[in-house]
């Protein structure tokens, strides 16, 4: 294989979806797995992309050997947060000293963990509202192309603009932003308020609004997490409960990734969402009782599966 413009790290829903969409648009793209046998199967048959009720098979280069893709201009890490360090180290074989590494993961602390492995000025961070469901190995359903917002935590503006432009050029509705920390915290607060409650109740997002007790709990979690963000000198605005409710309405039928993980008996990202918010609160001498309780409950639920 030769070098690629974009390398997706992780063959889950977001990795398969972005690899397929980019490949369809003519971008030189690769998909990096950590399991050689699975990588061989995906490489042989391509990614099956389901969209609007129809299926398309998209050929995508897939390998478990990072050096097959070296040099990659942009590496996008989309693994679960607990695998961030391992994924970043694995991807090093595809990088040269010009490669940019972008995290579009859930939770807080991912870009910092990557920056301990890759030069911080080459690390980008962002959020995306694009939705995807993994239907099986190398099979993914597009739930909708949302907005991707990314930036450089260390001020490498040109790199962020180039990466956003590359994604925007193929229809992925991406933009470079200056306040990437604000975007990361806003996404984390939304996830902290919605995802654990969906996982504990086994309900889709929209049903949280129909139950007054759950709706109030969701608002209280949002307020608690927003207070922690402000203590971390991040401005997330004063209306986070309303923002969370709006997201619930817009994604009413969605089964959150945390609910999907709990249902499948997989490890969740609770430690990197509510747990990380609670940890940062404790560092500043602040209480975060709701985030602590939800972290314990969802953690215990996962262990019980």
Where in the sequence numbering do the catalytic residues fall? 187
Instruction: Please list, in sequence order, all residues whose beta carbon lies within 8 angstroms of the beta carbon of residue 201, skipping any fewer than 6 positions away.
Output: 207, 208, 214
d(CA 149, CA 68): 29
Instruction: Please list, in sequence order, all residues whose beta carbon lies within 8 angstroms of the beta carbon of residue 216, skipping any fewer than 6 positions away.
Output: none
d(CA 302, CA 168): 37
d(CA 197, CA 256): 10
Dihedral-angle region of residue 10 (phi above 0 means left; psi in -120 to 50 means alpha; beta otherwise): left
Pairing, β 100-103 against β 74-77:
parallel
Residues 205/207/212/217 CA torsion (nearest 10 deg): -20
d(CA 263, CA 116): 33
Nearest to 21 by CA among 82, 78, 101: 78
Does residue 85 sit in helix, strand or coil?
A: helix
d(CA 74, CA 156): 14
């Amino acid at each position: 294989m030769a070098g690629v413009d974009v390398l997706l790290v992780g063959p889950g829903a977001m990795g398969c979806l972005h690899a397929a969409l980019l490949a369809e648009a003519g971008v030189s793209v690769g998909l990096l797995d950590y399991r050689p046998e699975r990588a061989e199967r995906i490489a042989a048959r391509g990614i099956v992309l389901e969209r609007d009720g129809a299926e398309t098979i998209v050929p995508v280069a897939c390998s478990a050997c990072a050096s097959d893709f070296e040099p990659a201009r942009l590496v996008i890490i989309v693994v679960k947060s607990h695998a961030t360090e391992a994924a970043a180290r694995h991807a090093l074989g595809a990088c040269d000293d010009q490669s940019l590494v972008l995290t579009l993961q859930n939770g807080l602390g991912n870009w910092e963990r990557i920056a301990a492995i890759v030069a911080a000025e080459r690390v980008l961070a962002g959020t995306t509202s694009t939705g995807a469901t993994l239907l099986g190995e190398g099979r993914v359903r597009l739930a909708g192309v949302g907005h991707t917002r990314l930036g450089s935590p260390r001020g490498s503006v040109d790199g962020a603009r180039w990466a956003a432009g590359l994604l925007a050029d193929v229809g992925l509705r991406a933009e470079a932003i200056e306040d990437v920390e604000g975007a990361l915290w806003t996404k984390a607060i939304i996830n902290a308020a919605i995802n654990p409650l969906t996982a504990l109740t086994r309900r889709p997002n929209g049903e949280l609004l129909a139950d007054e007790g759950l709706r109030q709990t969701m608002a209280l979690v949002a307020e608690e997490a927003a207070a922690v963000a402000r203590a971390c000198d991040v401005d997330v605005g004063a209306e986070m409960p309303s923002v969370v409710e709006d997201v619930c309405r817009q994604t009413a039928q969605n089964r959150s990734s945390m609910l999907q993980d709990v249902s499948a008996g997989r490890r969740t990202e609770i430690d990197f969402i509510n747990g990380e918010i609670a940890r940062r609160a404790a560092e500043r001498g602040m209480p975060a009782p709701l985030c602590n309780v939800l972290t314990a409950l969802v953690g215990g639920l996962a262990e019980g599966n």
